[in-house]
Structure 1
């Protein structure tokens, strides 16, 4: 069986969160088309996401191990163990779905903390004196980023407002993800489009992305 890792970054419960609601619709659609998948969920606001410090990392991206690990405090050892767990969970997935709102033209800080945690040398990335490369090209992987935002931005200005889309596309491409898609839930504020209509408008996008991904996964 393949695995889809569904990551949410929103303080709201699903029943009041637009990004999580659309995320759930995507997951349900995807699983109905891809029977060879299981889903593992990670709610970043309900989980322990360690804060990176210089004791945990010996150098940029190098997680403490061996003697260094033994010299850590019990609290830092727990953080290292947790980072390893999060990293291994991420590595084991074939498809990633991230659902988050736009916060200050970007994304929730907990999501950045999570990415910082899993960028472990010799696991997710490879750091040498000559280069830094991503290590996720060992198998076919797909990723979709689902973002909700209050306004509707003209496409010509998307790069000025939807910074999260460009950021995650660049990061996951660097890591070796084969395919990146995004779904925008735009105009959720009542003065713009409204939550119900904004979510309804994403249905075609959900179907299109699910169709692309299910075709890919049916051949591997």
Structure 2
């Protein structure tokens, strides 16, 4: 059975309080109408124990990668951190479709999303090296990013400061995925009177993107 990972990075737990979540729910509803055969798994990062690259994980990865250690030879703390990373990685690898929902904070993605994605880089499982260079191994998968922005970054003087969607796009592409055009709702703080119009447009774009993703039957098996 195919799987879609729906990954949100926002401390707000109620959909009605998060504009990004509202857009995301429209995407999911539309997608599931077309593809009831796809299992949806929700990951609310702020309610999860996301492993961060700390000293224990850094040494655990090095010891197992090129220092000749076995898992049993790691310290208990190193084993715990590595196992936590591997669990998240296995869950990620086993999906076919990915939906990321994030706000743009201080020009970038929420730190917890960066922590989460740091767990997805593992040589031999998500990327490798060839004579032509580095190659992503997560092929035959499709991803889309839903992002909300308080200001205007699609054009104008702030365009070069947008590093949240840019980060996810480059990261997922590096890992081998097909990344769809993002769904962006921007100006939500700067243009308060236009928020209903901005949200309506973003939801329409979410519906279109969901249909596009649903019509593309991908499988990595």
Which TM-score bucket, shorter chain as reference?
0.7 to 0.9
Residue equivalent to 1:38: 39
Q: Which has the higher strand share?
A: 1
SS of aligned partner of 2:46: coil
Gaps of 5+ in 2: none
Q: How far apart are the structure 1 equivalents of 2:186 and 2:142?
A: 23
Shift of 1:55: 3.7
Q: How far apart are the structure 1 equivalents of 2:63 and 2:29?
A: 36
Gaps of 5+ in 1: none
Residue equivalent to 1:149: 149
Shift of 1:181: 2.4
Shift of 1:113: 0.7
Q: How high is the TM-score relative to the length of structure 1?
A: 0.86
Residue equivalent to 1:19: 20
Shift of 1:8: 0.5
Residue equivalent to 2:174: 174
Q: How far apart are the structure 1 equivalents of 2:144 and 2:75?
A: 38
RMSD (CA atoms) = 2.8
CA 55–146 in structure 1, closer or farther in 2 if over 3 Å, else same: same
CA 10–192 in structure 1, closer or farther in 2 if over 3 Å, else same: same
SS of aligned partner of 2:4: strand
Q: Give the number of aligned pairs.
A: 217
Asked if residue 53 in structure 1 is aligned to residue 23 in structure 2, the reply is no
Shift of 1:15: 2.7
CA 173–101 in structure 1, closer or farther in 2 if over 3 Å, else same: same
Q: How high is the TM-score relative to the length of structure 2?
A: 0.85
Shift of 1:185: 1.3
Residue equivalent to 2:84: 82
Residue equivalent to 1:4: 4
Residue equivalent to 1:108: 110
